């Protein structure tokens, strides 16, 4: 049975992650980097955090939902949040693998899910044109996610481990 202190730590860590993710996403929105086919959300660097704490799973999910409210797009609120939840769970499950492998789920899941969302709901392509429209959408989203996760996320992970920023492990 979890102690009250452990439960409180879990909730606080999750809430802090959600708040930071949301704030960083809205900061990116000021520079038109948070929404649309080309995304470069600094907040996505935080998708490495499930390696350190399971509190990052609800934290990232809630943060993504709150962030996607800013897109004024209900589809993004649903699909983007679902993609973040799935990626966070997979990252947590892969936490014992080398970090460069464990942080692949956000890159792959976002490329596929958001690529599909953009293709189905935001392009004029029909029939086989949808497939050709999906590829650049997925590559664009995946490339942005890859840069953020590896260029910002890995250093964040190293610093978070070094300074033991998270206390809830399992």
Please report the pLDDT score of residue 169 as a whole number: 57
The answer to whether 110 touches 142, Cβ cutoff 8 Å, is yes
Angle at 9 between CA 18 and CA 55, to 5 degrees: 45
Burial class (CB in 10 A: 0-12, 13-18, 19+), 156: middle
User: CA–CA separation, 106 vs 117, rounded Å?
Assistant: 16
Tell me the two tokens of residue 45.
């660097």
Tell me the two tokens of residue 128.
């086989």
What is the rounded average pLDDT of the residues 72-78? 92
pLDDT for 49 beyond 90: yes
pLDDT for 40 beyond 90: no
User: CA–CA separation, 110 vs 147, rounded Å?
Assistant: 13
pLDDT for 111 beyond 60: yes
What is the rounded average pLDDT of the residues 26-43? 88
The answer to whether 114 touches 141, Cβ cutoff 8 Å, is yes
pLDDT class of 129 with cuts at 50, 70, 90: confident
Q: The pTM is what?
A: 0.93
Query: Pick the residue with more confidence: 72 or 61?
Result: 61
**DSSP H/E element including 41:** none
Percent of the chain with pLDDT over 90: 74
pLDDT class of 127 with cuts at 50, 70, 90: confident
pLDDT for 168 beyond 70: no
User: CA–CA separation, 135 vs 73, rounded Å?
Assistant: 22
Kindly give, in sequence order, each residue whose CB lies less than 8 Å from that of residue 97, ignoring residues fewer than 6 positions away.
none
């Amino acid at each position: 049975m979890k102690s009250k202190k452990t439960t409180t730590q879990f909730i606080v860590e999750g809430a802090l992650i959600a708040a930071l993710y949301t704030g960083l996403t809205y900061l990116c929105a000021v520079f038109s980097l948070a929404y649309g086919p080309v995304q470069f959300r600094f907040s996505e660097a935080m998708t490495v955090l499930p390696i350190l704490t399971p509190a990052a799973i609800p934290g990232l999910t809630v943060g993504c939902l709150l962030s996607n409210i800013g897109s004024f797009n209900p589809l993004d609120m649903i699909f983007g949040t679902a993609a973040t939840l799935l990626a966070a769970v997979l990252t947590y499950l892969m936490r014992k693998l080398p970090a460069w492998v464990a942080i692949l789920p956000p890159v792959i899941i976002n490329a596929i899910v958001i690529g599909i969302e953009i293709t189905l709901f935001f392009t004029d392509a029909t029939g086989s044109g949808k497939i050709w429209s999906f590829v650049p959408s997925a590559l664009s989203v995946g490339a942005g996610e890859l840069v953020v996760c590896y260029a910002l996320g890995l250093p964040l992970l190293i610093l978070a481990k070094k300074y033991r920023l998270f206390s809830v492990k399992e």
